[in-house]
Amino acid sequence: MTQDLGGRSIAQLSVLLQSGALDPRALAEWTLGRILDHADQAIFTSVTPERAIREAEASHERLSSGGSLGLLDGIPVAWKDLFAIKGLPTTAGSTVLKSHPAASEDAAVVAALAKAGMVSVGRVNMSEFAFSGLGLNPHHGTPRNPCSRDVERIPGGSSSGSGVAVAAGLVPVSIGTDTGGSIRIPAALNGIVGYKATRGRYSMHGVFPLAKSLDSLGPLCRTVQDAVWTDAAMRGLPASEVRRGDLEGLSIVVPSDVVFDGAEDGVVSAFEEALLRLERAGAWVRRQAFPAFTHIFEIMAAHGPLVTAEAFALHRSRLEGADAGLMDRRVVARARLGEKIELSDYIAVLAARERLIAEVSASIGPSEIIAYPTVPHVAPATAQLEADDALFVEMNGRTLRNTSIGNFLDWCGVSLPCGTGEAGMPVGLLLSALPHHDTHLLSVALAAENVVRAGCREV
């Protein structure tokens, strides 16, 4: 095939497939070839050519006979390395699970997208056990941020391979998980769209966990429309109920606490310019203090983070045995901090979380959208973080700070590219909504996307 299909959205590929201008078999073969020939072999942890060709052949038969399953029929998809795929062990970006039994069935959302006709091409890299916002992986290598024009920069994590696979044009969509920002961070740092659903919107069956109180799922893709279609299919729906909203009269709330602390000038400038464009398009912007944001971090400092407590409980036997020597030293060090968290501390955090969710929800109108920078900095260079563990810890906390607020408060969120900062690297604008207001959030994101992205250069 001579046609370059890299960087196409789901919508663009769907037009070609549904019209017969592109055969799903040719698209699958092109995608597999592009993955195998790509200069960065740290993006994928495993490729599934047999499955991809089989699913593409079935799609070809359906489309040829007029029996399309819908707009996603024949579209390639990649999976973060913690989704169960039948016939493969689920390794979660680690080597300690590689000898575990192969999955006997697909994860529920993998099966749901297969029923929509999507073609699974493989699994992508991630921070080991999803326990970092930076995306470094000492076992499979760290995917390179394709937006960088100077030095190698981090992809963001923990869904690092998902962000890079889409930004590099290998697949139009990859499904990730988000416990403290793991979808929205790589989306922001790689200049693409990332949608974190409200926890519980999709089945978690067959998904290797990190912290069940916080874990959520969602797609990383090129457009909000792509996210909307994928969201519906992940829930087993034949079509989405989301309709494009209206920016006229939309109320956008910009927090004045925490989220701009220490933010790079370029990030703040790109965010504020996008905000001005939204105002010119008819949105109303108001600034509001959220003391709860400060309280969240005070509570975690006093009692320990939920994610650390639950990750330690999950991995305790590994951390106490020989497996610890085979794991990323930074993941081990962070997870072991959970040993210091007492049951009373854990219960105190859960109680405070319930109180703060109610407090913040009462201070925001049900149709209001919260907006702030997804990450307060652009993607930093990889080498310095590989070499300096203290810098790694500091940067990891800074990178996760803004997005983790939404996980603690159980918000849904969409990160949109809004411009560039230092070294021409992408900046993300995060739109968030109250728990279970996903339909409204996606509706607003559809309306806002072109306005927000007006200052971006394409990756």
Annotated active-site positions, please? 80, 158, 182
Place of tokens 């398009």: 281
Residue 353 vs residues 125, 349, 362: alpha-carbon distances, Å: 31, 6, 14
- 83: which 2 tokens? 């989704």
Question: For 315-425, where are the E strands, in sequence order?
Answer: 369-373, 412-420
Host H or E run for residue 426:
strand 426-433
Identify the burial level of 298 via C-beta atoms within 10 angstroms of its C-beta, where 0-12 means exposed, 13-18 middle and 19 or more buried. exposed
What single-letter amino acid sits at 236? G
State how beta strands 173-178 and 76-80 pair. Answer: parallel
In the chain, count of helices (H) and strands (E)?
Answer: 15, 11
Closest listed residue to residue 423, CA positions, set 264, 261, 256: 264
Residue-wise over 388-426: b if at least 16 C-beta within 10 A, else e? eeeebeebbebbbbbbbbbbbbbbbbbbbbbbbbebebb
Q: Using the 8-state DSSP alphabet, how is residue 423 labeled?
A: G
Complete DSSP assignment for 107-171: -HHHHHHHHTT-EEEEEE--SGGG--SS---TTT-PPPPTT-SSS-B---SSSHHHHHHHHTTS-
Q: Are 157 and 133 in contact (CB under 8 A)?
A: yes
Taking 3-state DSSP, the helix, strand and coil percentages for the chain, each rounded to the nearest 5, stand at: 45, 15, 40
Q: Are 408 and 296 in contact (CB under 8 A)?
A: yes
User: Residue 239, Cβ neighbours under 10 Å: how many?
Assistant: 11
Complete DSSP assignment for 258-288: STTTT--HHHHHHHHHHHHHHHHTT-EEEEE
